[in-house]
Amino acid sequence: YAALKVRLLTWCQRHTEGYRNVCVSDLTSSWKSGLALCALIHNFRADLIDFDSLNEEESAKNNQMAFDIAEREFGIPSRDQQMPLPQSLLELDDPSFRKMSHFG
């Protein structure tokens, strides 16, 4: 399991490198602002997100947009459809995450 986490982290780092305000150093808090997930999507489909227009302070908006795009464009079900947020994200001390995930 640990080796898979390292491989996933390395893959995420490689595909988000160079994006403004994105520094993926772990699989939990690095994703808080939503910019890392938006950067991943932008890396593969730049036409779907205007990354330069994103604001790091708008974490709920960034994450919601990324999840909506993932569902619409890639067929990845939303959190409401069998994809709950990982407990590690829910434990972050950020009210915007609790609001966004309907747990707060």
| Residuewise pLDDT in 10s, the chain (104 residues) | 789 999 999 999 999 999 999 999 999 999 999 999 999 999 999 999 999 999 999 999 999 999 999 999 999 887 665 545 555 555 555 444 444 444 33
Decide: 10 and 26 in contact? Cβ < 8 Å. Answer: no
Q: How far apart are CA 39 and CA 55, in angstroms?
A: 12
Query: In this structure, what token pair is assigned to residue 18?
Result: 């160079």
**Number of domains making up the chain:** 1
Report the CATH number that the domain containing residue 16 is assigned in CATH.
Answer: 1.10.418.10
The boundaries of the domain holding residue 10 are 2-100
| CA-closest candidate to residue 56, choices 44, 39, 75 | 39
Q: Cα dihedral angle (93, 69, 85, 32), rounded to 10 degrees?
A: -20
pTM: 0.74
